[in-house]
Structure 1
Amino acid sequence: MTFSQFRDCLDQEVLGGKPSLFGLRLLKALWSTNLGRQAVLRLRLAQLLTHYRCRYLAQRQLVRLAMRFGLYAEPTSAIGRGLRLPHPTSIVIGKGLRIGKRCQLYQQVSLGAAPRDHDGLMPRIGDDVTVYPGAKFVGEGRVGDRVIVGANAVVTKPFGDDVVVAGIPARAIRRVGPGDRLGSVRT
């Protein structure tokens, strides 16, 4: 993640699209009471430091994430703009994953690492996806764009776009219409 990508991500995720006084507002967010913003800021900072080969400083940010939130993330995973962590506790983001834009991950979500025989980054989550508490992605489990993953779902196989998945193992239970907003679902 380059500095311009870092700044673009934080403008949207942490600062709410208000780029004025960028540095001061980031310091305020780092010490604010909004834990979701703190976690995203520290994760993005670890990604930036990893990109510029400041491994020690990146590792310090990752340790703070782990100690404060229980959030374990691989900084080399590709995470799209607009990540939201409303309750950033006990979240695991494995190695070699690609997470789409405007995703929302709730507490206790585990995104398993990419399979060993997979080259490059493996898409685990598409764009505009909401993953509710306790959901797990293992093996070949992945979802497309505009998907809602129910609480405690165990996703072990690929799913396409515009669906709601739930259950153990997860299965598509509803389709989301193209005109629907993410929260409203059609049966």
Structure 2
Amino acid sequence: MLHTKFLDTCTCEVLGGKPRWVYLRLLKVLFSRSPSRQSVLYIRLVQLCSSQGWSIIANWAQYRLVTSFGLYVHPRAEIGKGLRLPHPTSIVLGGGLQIGERCLIYQQVTVGAAPRNHDGLMQRVGDDVTLYPGAKFVGRGRVGNRVVVGANALVADEFGDDVVVAGVPARVIRSTRAGDRVGAVHRL
């Protein structure tokens, strides 16, 4: 992650799109009582410092994430712009995975690392996805764009765009596309 991308992402996610006094306002967030903004800022700090080779600062930010929020984000996880964490506790985002833009992730969500035989980054979560509390992604589990994953769902299969999935194991319970019949299955 480049410094300019870090500032752009933090301005959008942490500061609500207000580009004035960015550095001072980000410093204020580090010492504020807003856990959702603070956790996103620490995630972005880990990504920036890891990509730049600043391991001491990256380890410190990772330590703060784990001890303050119980939140583990692997430095190799690629997370798109617009991440929101309303209740940033007990969230695990493994290595080698890719999460799309404008994702909303609630507490106790686990998105496992990419399988060992997978080359490069594995897209687990598309754009505009909501992951409700307790959702788990394991094995080949992945979802497309504009998907809602229900509470405590176990996603172990591949699902396409515009669906609502829930259950253990997860299955499509509703399609959100206009004109589709209810319950239509859309696979990647």
Which TM-score band (shorter chain)? over 0.9
Structure 1 vs Structure 2: percent identity of aligned residues? 60
Which residue matches 1:141? 141
Distance in 2, Cα, partners of 1:74 & 1:48: 12
Which residue matches 2:43? 43
Which residue matches 2:112? 112
TM-superposed deviation, 1:56: 1.7
Which residue matches 2:93? 93
Distance in 2, Cα, partners of 1:166 & 1:66: 28
Q: CA contact under 8 A between 1:111 and 1:137: conserved in structure 2?
A: yes
Q: CA contact under 8 A between 1:162 and 1:178: conserved in structure 2?
A: no
Which residue matches 1:182? none
Which residue matches 1:8? 8
Distance in 2, Cα, partners of 1:30 & 1:175: 40
TM-superposed deviation, 1:33: 1.6
Q: CA contact under 8 A between 1:87 and 1:106: conserved in structure 2?
A: yes
Which residue matches 1:78? 78
TM-superposition CA deviations, 1:167-187 (whole Å, max 9, x none): 0000000011369xxxxxx77
TM-superposed deviation, 1:117: 0.2
Q: Structure 1 residues 34 and 178, CA, compared in 2 at 3 Å: closer, same or farther?
A: farther
Which residue matches 2:177? 177
Task: Please give the secondary structure, in 2, of the residue aligned with 1:58.
Answer: helix
Do structure 1's residue 63 and structure 2's residue 56 form an aligned pair?
no
Distance in 1, Cα, partners of 2:31 & 2:150: 32
Distance in 2, Cα, partners of 1:178 & 1:123: 25
Which residue matches 2:186? none
TM-superposition CA deviations, 1:84-122 (whole Å, max 9, x none): 000000000001000000001100000001000000000
Q: Deviating runs (4+, > 4 A) in structure 1?
A: none
TM-superposed deviation, 1:30: 1.2
TM-superposition CA deviations, 1:35-87 (whole Å, max 9, x none): 01000000100110001101121011101100000001101211000000000
TM-superposition CA deviations, 1:107-162 (whole Å, max 9, x none): 00000010000000000000000000000000000000000000000000000000
Q: TM-score, normalised by structure 2?
A: 0.94
Equivalent residue letter for 1:161:
D
Equivalent residue letter for 1:85:
L
Q: CA contact under 8 A between 1:141 and 1:157: conserved in structure 2?
A: yes
Q: CA contact under 8 A between 1:50 and 1:75: conserved in structure 2?
A: yes
Task: Please give the secondary structure, in 2, of the residue aligned with 1:51.
Answer: helix
